[in-house]
């Protein structure tokens, strides 16, 4: 599937769901296991079980279009907030409790389609981090 | 001292709290008659450009509601930015998802795509958070 097609499909879903959930095409490096439709599967993160039906209802209007574009029924893999935190923390970095002073700032790339996989960069002369003891 | 709280992050004496693709997203002034709010986002990166200057809509299909201590910018029924001022601190709730940008706040954090920023303090910086 062309890269542009993948982006367009993510955009269709984002518009239908008001950008409420981070999305990405299933990645061979971090999504293990083989299943039918793997190449047309999309991860949907931070979604509760009760929201899954609503998600499918909201994208009903674009599902046929997606099927036409990829020649296959779209497959959605839902991840709750707990499993997102547990298994995909690398996609969702948290910057917490940092003190930046005197000209320091935080730079973040503009999120692309799906919104996952970007990292903030702290820059400046005075950056204080709260260090915590590992459990 | 000028303090702004955005998704549990605190900005003290920052000229621009949030910049998107080189453009400061918002600024405000507290005047005797009420708040004067400005808001600016271009397209791209947003799906539609929005420009509000001192509460006056210049671009985009938005509504601006102003009170003595609060200001809201809405697109349809959705609030893009909600600002309330108490003393020297302004609290801002932000949701740019209706504009096609993965940027919003909840009480715990500022979310930019999958990135979360929470309980950070930025002091005396020209630009606090710069996106894009």
Q: How far apart are CA A93 and CA B118, in angstroms?
A: 11
* B32 pLDDT above the threshold of 90: no
Do the chains contact at B117 and A106, CB–CB below 8 Å? yes
Do the chains contact at B113 and A111, CB–CB below 8 Å? yes
Other Cβ atoms closer than 10 A to A134: 4
Contacts of B131 in chain A (CB under 8 A): 107-110
* B12 pLDDT above the threshold of 60: yes
* A30 pLDDT above the threshold of 80: no
Do the chains contact at B118 and A94, CB–CB below 8 Å? yes
Q: pLDDT tens digits for B44-81?
A: 999 999 999 999 999 999 999 998 899 999 999 999 99
Q: pLDDT tens digits for B96-125?
A: 999 999 999 999 999 999 999 999 999 998
Do the chains contact at B114 and A104, CB–CB below 8 Å? no
Other Cβ atoms closer than 10 A to A70: 16
Q: CB under 8 Å to A70, separation ≥6 — which residues?
A: A1, A5, A9, A40
Domain ranges of chain A: 3-90, 94-129
Indicate the pTM of the whole model. Answer: 0.88
C-alpha distances (whole Å) from A114 to each of A52, A118, A127, A133, B113 are: 17, 11, 30, 34, 8
Q: How far apart are CA B125 and CA A94, in angstroms?
A: 21
Contacts of A100 in chain B (CB under 8 A): 120-123, 125
Q: How far is B131 from chain A (nearest CA, A)?
A: 5
Burial (CB < 10 A; 0-12, 13-18, 19+), residue A98, is buried
Left (φ > 0), alpha (ψ -120 to 50) or beta: where does A38 sit? alpha
pLDDT band per the 50, 70, 90 thresholds, residue B2? confident
Q: Report how many Cβ contacts below 8 Å link chain A to chain B.
A: 114
Q: How far apart are CA A72 and CA A93, in angstroms?
A: 33
Contacts of A20 in chain B (CB under 8 A): 97
Contacts of A102 in chain B (CB under 8 A): 123-125
Q: CB under 8 Å to B109, separation ≥6 — which residues?
A: A94, B7, B8, B9, B116, B117, B118
Do the chains contact at B118 and A96, CB–CB below 8 Å? yes
DSSP state of B95: B
Left (φ > 0), alpha (ψ -120 to 50) or beta: where does B106 sit? beta
Q: How far is B7 from chain A (nearest CA, A)?
A: 12
What the block records as the tokens of A95 is 């910057």
pLDDT band per the 50, 70, 90 thresholds, residue A27? confident
**Closest residue of chain B to A125, computed from CA coordinates:** B125
Q: What is the dihedral of CA A126, A104, A109, B17, to 10 degrees?
A: 140
Q: How far apart are CA A32 and CA A82, in angstroms?
A: 18
């Amino acid at each position: 599937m062309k890269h542009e097609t993948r982006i367009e499909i993510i955009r269709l879903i984002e518009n239908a769901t008001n950008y409420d959930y981070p999305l990405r095409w299933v990645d061979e490096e971090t999504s293990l296991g083989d299943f039918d439709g793997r190449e047309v599967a999309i991860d949907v993160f931070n979604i509760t079980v009760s929201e899954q039906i609503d998600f499918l209802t909201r994208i009903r209007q674009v599902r046929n279009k997606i099927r036409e574009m990829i020649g296959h029924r779209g497959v959605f893999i839902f991840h709750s907030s707990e499993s997102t935190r547990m298994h995909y923390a690398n996609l969702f970095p948290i910057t917490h409790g940092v003190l930046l002073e005197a000209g320091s700032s935080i730079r973040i790339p503009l999120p692309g389609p799906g919104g996952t996989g970007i990292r903030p960069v702290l820059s400046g002369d005075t950056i204080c981090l709260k260090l915590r003891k590992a459990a | 001292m000028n303090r702004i709280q955005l998704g549990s992050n605190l900005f003290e004496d920052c000229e621009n709290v949030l910049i998107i693709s080189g453009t400061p997203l918002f600024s405000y002034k507290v005047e005797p008659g009420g708040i004067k709010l400005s808001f600016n986002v271009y397209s791209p990166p947003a799906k539609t450009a929005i420009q509000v200057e001192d509460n006056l809509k210049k671009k985009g299909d938005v509504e601006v509601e102003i009170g003595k201590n609060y200001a809201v910018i809405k697109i349809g029924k959705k609030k893009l930015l909600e600002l309330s001022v108490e003393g020297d601190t302004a609290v801002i709730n932000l949701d740019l998802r209706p504009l096609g940008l993965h940027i919003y706040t909840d009480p715990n954090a500022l979310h930019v795509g999958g990135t979360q920023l929470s309980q950070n303090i930025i002091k005396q910086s020209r630009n606090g958070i710069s996106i894009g």
